[in-house]
Amino acid sequence: MKQCTIAFIGGGNMARSLIGGLISNQFIAENIHVSDANTEALDNLASRYNVKTFTDNLAAIADADVVILAVKPQQLQSVIRQISPAWQQDKLLISIAAGIRLDDITRWLDFEGAAIVRAMPNTPSLVQAGATALCANDYVTTEQHELAESMLRAVGLALWISDEKQMDAVTALSGSGPAYFFLVLEALQTAGMELGLPEETARLLALETGFGAAKMALESDESACVLRQRVTSPGGTTERALDVFEDGDLRGLFNKALTAAAQRADELAEQLGQDYD
Protein backbone atom coordinates (compact mmCIF):
# COMPACT_ATOMS: atom_id res chain seq x y z
CA MET A 1 0.00 0.00 0.00
CA LYS A 2 2.88 2.35 0.71
CA GLN A 3 3.94 2.08 -2.93
CA CYS A 4 0.64 3.31 -4.37
CA THR A 5 0.40 6.69 -6.09
CA ILE A 6 -1.46 9.37 -4.17
CA ALA A 7 -2.60 12.65 -5.70
CA PHE A 8 -3.59 15.66 -3.61
CA ILE A 9 -5.72 18.36 -5.16
CA GLY A 10 -4.94 21.32 -2.95
CA GLY A 11 -1.61 22.00 -1.29
CA GLY A 12 -2.68 23.88 1.85
CA ASN A 13 -2.09 23.19 5.53
CA MET A 14 -4.07 19.96 5.81
CA ALA A 15 -2.51 18.51 2.66
CA ARG A 16 0.92 19.45 3.96
CA SER A 17 0.27 17.75 7.29
CA LEU A 18 -0.93 14.58 5.56
CA ILE A 19 2.04 14.54 3.21
CA GLY A 20 4.45 14.95 6.12
CA GLY A 21 2.75 12.14 8.00
CA LEU A 22 2.74 9.83 5.00
CA ILE A 23 6.42 10.32 4.31
CA SER A 24 7.34 9.83 7.96
CA ASN A 25 5.41 6.55 7.75
CA GLN A 26 7.50 5.35 4.79
CA PHE A 27 5.20 6.26 1.92
CA ILE A 28 7.36 6.94 -1.16
CA ALA A 29 7.72 10.68 -1.80
CA GLU A 30 8.02 10.39 -5.58
CA ASN A 31 4.66 8.58 -5.63
CA ILE A 32 2.92 11.59 -4.06
CA HIS A 33 1.52 14.18 -6.46
CA VAL A 34 0.23 17.60 -5.45
CA SER A 35 -1.77 19.96 -7.64
CA ASP A 36 -2.42 23.59 -6.75
CA ALA A 37 -2.72 26.94 -8.49
CA ASN A 38 -0.34 28.45 -5.92
CA THR A 39 3.12 27.79 -7.34
CA GLU A 40 4.83 29.11 -4.21
CA ALA A 41 3.05 26.51 -2.10
CA LEU A 42 4.03 23.82 -4.60
CA ASP A 43 7.68 24.91 -4.55
CA ASN A 44 7.69 24.69 -0.75
CA LEU A 45 6.20 21.20 -0.80
CA ALA A 46 8.64 20.00 -3.46
CA SER A 47 11.59 21.45 -1.57
CA ARG A 48 10.58 20.05 1.79
CA TYR A 49 9.22 16.63 0.81
CA ASN A 50 10.51 15.96 -2.72
CA VAL A 51 6.98 15.29 -4.00
CA LYS A 52 5.89 15.79 -7.61
CA THR A 53 3.94 19.00 -8.19
CA PHE A 54 1.41 20.05 -10.83
CA THR A 55 -0.72 23.03 -11.68
CA ASP A 56 -3.04 20.80 -13.75
CA ASN A 57 -5.42 18.64 -11.70
CA LEU A 58 -6.00 16.16 -14.52
CA ALA A 59 -2.28 15.60 -14.99
CA ALA A 60 -1.83 15.09 -11.25
CA ILE A 61 -4.47 12.36 -10.98
CA ALA A 62 -3.76 10.59 -14.28
CA ASP A 63 -2.00 7.55 -12.80
CA ALA A 64 -3.04 7.95 -9.17
CA ASP A 65 -4.54 5.11 -7.15
CA VAL A 66 -5.91 7.54 -4.57
CA VAL A 67 -7.08 11.12 -5.08
CA ILE A 68 -7.40 13.28 -1.98
CA LEU A 69 -9.51 16.40 -2.31
CA ALA A 70 -7.94 18.92 0.07
CA VAL A 71 -9.62 22.09 -1.15
CA LYS A 72 -12.07 24.43 0.56
CA PRO A 73 -15.65 23.14 0.65
CA GLN A 74 -16.79 25.98 -1.62
CA GLN A 75 -14.32 24.82 -4.29
CA LEU A 76 -15.13 21.13 -4.12
CA GLN A 77 -17.98 21.01 -6.63
CA SER A 78 -16.01 22.71 -9.40
CA VAL A 79 -12.96 20.52 -8.77
CA ILE A 80 -14.98 17.30 -8.86
CA ARG A 81 -16.80 18.30 -12.03
CA GLN A 82 -13.44 19.11 -13.64
CA ILE A 83 -11.91 15.70 -12.90
CA SER A 84 -15.09 13.72 -13.57
CA PRO A 85 -14.45 13.06 -17.31
CA ALA A 86 -11.06 11.55 -16.49
CA TRP A 87 -12.21 9.36 -13.60
CA GLN A 88 -11.42 5.63 -13.69
CA GLN A 89 -12.99 2.65 -11.92
CA ASP A 90 -9.92 1.61 -9.92
CA LYS A 91 -9.34 4.99 -8.25
CA LEU A 92 -10.28 5.82 -4.67
CA LEU A 93 -11.56 9.33 -3.96
CA ILE A 94 -11.06 10.74 -0.44
CA SER A 95 -12.62 14.08 0.43
CA ILE A 96 -11.40 15.95 3.51
CA ALA A 97 -13.54 18.99 2.71
CA ALA A 98 -15.76 19.71 5.71
CA GLY A 99 -19.50 19.36 5.32
CA ILE A 100 -19.81 17.83 1.85
CA ARG A 101 -21.87 14.64 1.89
CA LEU A 102 -21.15 11.44 0.02
CA ASP A 103 -24.32 11.74 -2.08
CA ASP A 104 -23.29 15.19 -3.30
CA ILE A 105 -19.76 14.06 -4.13
CA THR A 106 -21.19 11.05 -5.99
CA ARG A 107 -23.60 13.21 -7.98
CA TRP A 108 -20.91 15.69 -9.01
CA LEU A 109 -18.43 12.96 -9.97
CA ASP A 110 -21.13 11.30 -12.08
CA PHE A 111 -19.31 7.96 -12.33
CA GLU A 112 -21.17 4.72 -11.74
CA GLY A 113 -19.57 2.65 -8.98
CA ALA A 114 -16.99 5.24 -7.86
CA ALA A 115 -15.32 4.38 -4.54
CA ILE A 116 -15.58 7.40 -2.26
CA VAL A 117 -14.50 8.04 1.33
CA ARG A 118 -15.44 11.11 3.31
CA ALA A 119 -12.98 12.03 6.07
CA MET A 120 -13.19 14.63 8.83
CA PRO A 121 -9.70 15.36 10.20
CA ASN A 122 -9.06 18.15 12.69
CA THR A 123 -6.33 20.76 12.95
CA PRO A 124 -4.01 18.87 15.35
CA SER A 125 -3.29 16.71 12.30
CA LEU A 126 -0.79 19.49 11.55
CA VAL A 127 1.34 18.12 14.43
CA GLN A 128 0.45 14.46 13.76
CA ALA A 129 -1.94 14.38 16.72
CA GLY A 130 -5.18 14.56 14.80
CA ALA A 131 -8.47 12.74 15.21
CA THR A 132 -10.20 11.69 12.00
CA ALA A 133 -13.52 9.97 11.39
CA LEU A 134 -14.06 8.25 8.03
CA CYS A 135 -17.19 7.11 6.23
CA ALA A 136 -17.24 5.09 2.99
CA ASN A 137 -19.80 4.40 0.31
CA ASP A 138 -20.69 0.85 -0.73
CA TYR A 139 -18.14 0.70 -3.56
CA VAL A 140 -15.03 1.03 -1.37
CA THR A 141 -13.22 -2.32 -1.26
CA THR A 142 -11.62 -3.88 1.81
CA GLU A 143 -8.18 -2.97 0.49
CA GLN A 144 -9.27 0.62 -0.10
CA HIS A 145 -10.69 0.80 3.43
CA GLU A 146 -7.32 -0.29 4.80
CA LEU A 147 -5.46 2.15 2.58
CA ALA A 148 -7.63 5.13 3.56
CA GLU A 149 -7.28 4.28 7.24
CA SER A 150 -3.51 3.84 7.06
CA MET A 151 -3.15 7.20 5.32
CA LEU A 152 -5.17 9.09 7.94
CA ARG A 153 -3.47 7.21 10.78
CA ALA A 154 -0.26 8.84 9.59
CA VAL A 155 -1.44 12.05 11.27
CA GLY A 156 -3.15 10.62 14.35
CA LEU A 157 -6.22 8.60 15.30
CA ALA A 158 -8.43 7.33 12.48
CA LEU A 159 -11.70 5.48 12.99
CA TRP A 160 -14.70 4.50 10.87
CA ILE A 161 -18.34 5.36 11.32
CA SER A 162 -21.02 3.38 9.52
CA ASP A 163 -23.72 6.06 9.51
CA GLU A 164 -22.80 9.25 7.68
CA LYS A 165 -25.40 11.15 9.70
CA GLN A 166 -22.98 10.88 12.63
CA MET A 167 -20.54 13.12 10.77
CA ASP A 168 -22.35 16.20 12.09
CA ALA A 169 -21.67 14.99 15.63
CA VAL A 170 -18.05 14.28 14.68
CA THR A 171 -17.74 17.81 13.33
CA ALA A 172 -19.17 19.21 16.56
CA LEU A 173 -16.94 17.07 18.81
CA SER A 174 -13.53 16.57 17.22
CA GLY A 175 -13.71 18.87 14.21
CA SER A 176 -14.50 21.97 16.25
CA GLY A 177 -13.19 20.50 19.51
CA PRO A 178 -9.65 21.95 19.42
CA ALA A 179 -11.16 25.43 19.69
CA TYR A 180 -13.01 24.42 22.87
CA PHE A 181 -9.75 23.30 24.48
CA PHE A 182 -8.02 26.48 23.36
CA LEU A 183 -10.81 28.44 25.05
CA VAL A 184 -10.31 26.45 28.26
CA LEU A 185 -6.55 27.08 28.11
CA GLU A 186 -7.19 30.76 27.53
CA ALA A 187 -9.58 30.90 30.50
CA LEU A 188 -7.17 29.03 32.78
CA GLN A 189 -4.30 31.34 31.86
CA THR A 190 -6.39 34.46 32.41
CA ALA A 191 -7.69 33.22 35.77
CA GLY A 192 -4.14 32.36 36.85
CA MET A 193 -2.94 35.84 35.93
CA GLU A 194 -5.81 37.42 37.85
CA LEU A 195 -4.67 35.42 40.88
CA GLY A 196 -1.26 37.04 40.57
CA LEU A 197 0.80 34.71 38.36
CA PRO A 198 3.06 36.20 35.67
CA GLU A 199 1.63 35.77 32.14
CA GLU A 200 4.26 33.31 30.94
CA THR A 201 4.05 31.25 34.11
CA ALA A 202 0.26 31.03 33.84
CA ARG A 203 0.52 30.12 30.14
CA LEU A 204 3.05 27.33 30.65
CA LEU A 205 1.23 25.87 33.65
CA ALA A 206 -2.07 25.82 31.75
CA LEU A 207 -0.50 24.23 28.67
CA GLU A 208 1.40 21.52 30.55
CA THR A 209 -1.60 20.75 32.73
CA GLY A 210 -3.77 20.27 29.65
CA PHE A 211 -1.13 18.11 27.96
CA GLY A 212 -0.55 16.04 31.09
CA ALA A 213 -4.24 15.43 31.73
CA ALA A 214 -4.79 14.34 28.11
CA LYS A 215 -1.74 12.05 28.26
CA MET A 216 -2.96 10.45 31.49
CA ALA A 217 -6.40 9.85 29.97
CA LEU A 218 -4.93 8.36 26.79
CA GLU A 219 -2.62 6.01 28.69
CA SER A 220 -5.18 4.93 31.29
CA ASP A 221 -7.85 2.24 31.06
CA GLU A 222 -10.02 4.25 33.43
CA SER A 223 -12.78 6.62 32.33
CA ALA A 224 -12.44 10.37 32.56
CA CYS A 225 -14.98 10.25 35.37
CA VAL A 226 -12.82 7.88 37.45
CA LEU A 227 -9.68 9.90 36.77
CA ARG A 228 -11.46 13.07 37.86
CA GLN A 229 -12.64 11.44 41.07
CA ARG A 230 -9.13 10.22 41.87
CA VAL A 231 -7.71 13.75 41.88
CA THR A 232 -10.65 15.20 43.82
CA SER A 233 -10.06 14.92 47.57
CA PRO A 234 -13.16 15.40 49.73
CA GLY A 235 -13.17 18.90 51.13
CA GLY A 236 -10.12 19.90 49.11
CA THR A 237 -9.32 22.64 46.62
CA THR A 238 -10.24 20.64 43.52
CA GLU A 239 -13.64 19.75 44.92
CA ARG A 240 -14.32 23.40 45.68
CA ALA A 241 -13.48 24.41 42.10
CA LEU A 242 -15.52 21.58 40.56
CA ASP A 243 -18.51 22.56 42.65
CA VAL A 244 -18.41 25.98 40.98
CA PHE A 245 -18.34 24.36 37.53
CA GLU A 246 -21.28 22.11 38.43
CA ASP A 247 -23.27 25.04 39.85
CA GLY A 248 -22.68 26.86 36.55
CA ASP A 249 -23.98 23.84 34.58
CA LEU A 250 -20.75 23.35 32.65
CA ARG A 251 -21.97 19.99 31.33
CA GLY A 252 -25.17 21.59 30.06
CA LEU A 253 -23.20 24.33 28.33
CA PHE A 254 -21.07 21.76 26.51
CA ASN A 255 -24.20 19.89 25.45
CA LYS A 256 -25.76 23.08 24.10
CA ALA A 257 -22.54 24.07 22.36
CA LEU A 258 -22.07 20.73 20.57
CA THR A 259 -25.74 20.60 19.63
CA ALA A 260 -25.45 24.07 18.08
CA ALA A 261 -22.30 23.08 16.19
CA ALA A 262 -23.93 19.87 14.87
CA GLN A 263 -26.99 21.80 13.72
CA ARG A 264 -24.77 24.29 11.92
CA ALA A 265 -22.86 21.45 10.26
CA ASP A 266 -26.16 20.09 8.92
CA GLU A 267 -27.16 23.55 7.64
CA LEU A 268 -23.82 24.01 5.88
CA ALA A 269 -24.06 20.54 4.30
CA GLU A 270 -27.42 21.51 2.82
CA GLN A 271 -26.03 24.78 1.45
CA LEU A 272 -22.76 23.41 0.13
CA GLY A 273 -24.46 20.41 -1.48
CA GLN A 274 -26.58 22.49 -3.83
CA ASP A 275 -25.80 22.40 -7.53
CA TYR A 276 -24.83 25.77 -8.98
CA ASP A 277 -24.99 24.93 -12.67
pLDDT tens, position by position, 123-174: 999 899 999 999 999 999 999 999 999 999 999 999 999 999 999 999 999 9
pLDDT at position 25 over 90: no
**pLDDT over 70 percentage in the chain:** 99
| 101: region left, alpha or beta (phi > 0 left; psi from -120 to 50 alpha) | beta
Q: Measure the CA–CA gap between 27 and 21, rounded to whole angstroms.
A: 9
Q: Is 130 helix (H, G, I), strand (E, B) or coil?
A: strand
Check the annotation: does 155 bind a ligand. no
Torsion, Cα of 196, 202, 206, 208 (10° steps): -130
pLDDT at 275: 87
The model carries a pTM of 0.91
Check the annotation: does 9 bind a ligand. yes
Query: Is the sign of the CA dihedral 183, 176, 15, 20 positive or negative?
Result: positive
pLDDT at position 2 over 70: no
Check the annotation: does 217 bind a ligand. no
pLDDT tens, position by position, 216-244: 999 999 999 999 999 999 999 999 999 99
Check the annotation: does 44 bind a ligand. no
pLDDT at position 197 over 90: yes
pLDDT tens, position by position, 139-149: 999 999 999 99
Q: Measure the CA–CA gap between 2 and 15, rounded to whole angstroms.
A: 17
Q: CB–CB of 233/239 below 8 Å?
A: yes
Averaged confidence pLDDT in the chain:
95
Check the annotation: does 273 bind a ligand. no
Check the annotation: does 19 bind a ligand. no
Domains of the chain: 6-163 (3.40.50.720), 176-267 (1.10.3730.10)
Check the annotation: does 14 bind a ligand. yes
Check the annotation: does 137 bind a ligand. no
Check the annotation: does 73 bind a ligand. yes
pLDDT at position 27 over 70: yes
Strands 92-95 and 115-120: parallel
Check the annotation: does 57 bind a ligand. yes
pLDDT at 26: 87
pLDDT at 276: 78
First CA to last CA distance, the chain: 38
Check the annotation: does 32 bind a ligand. no
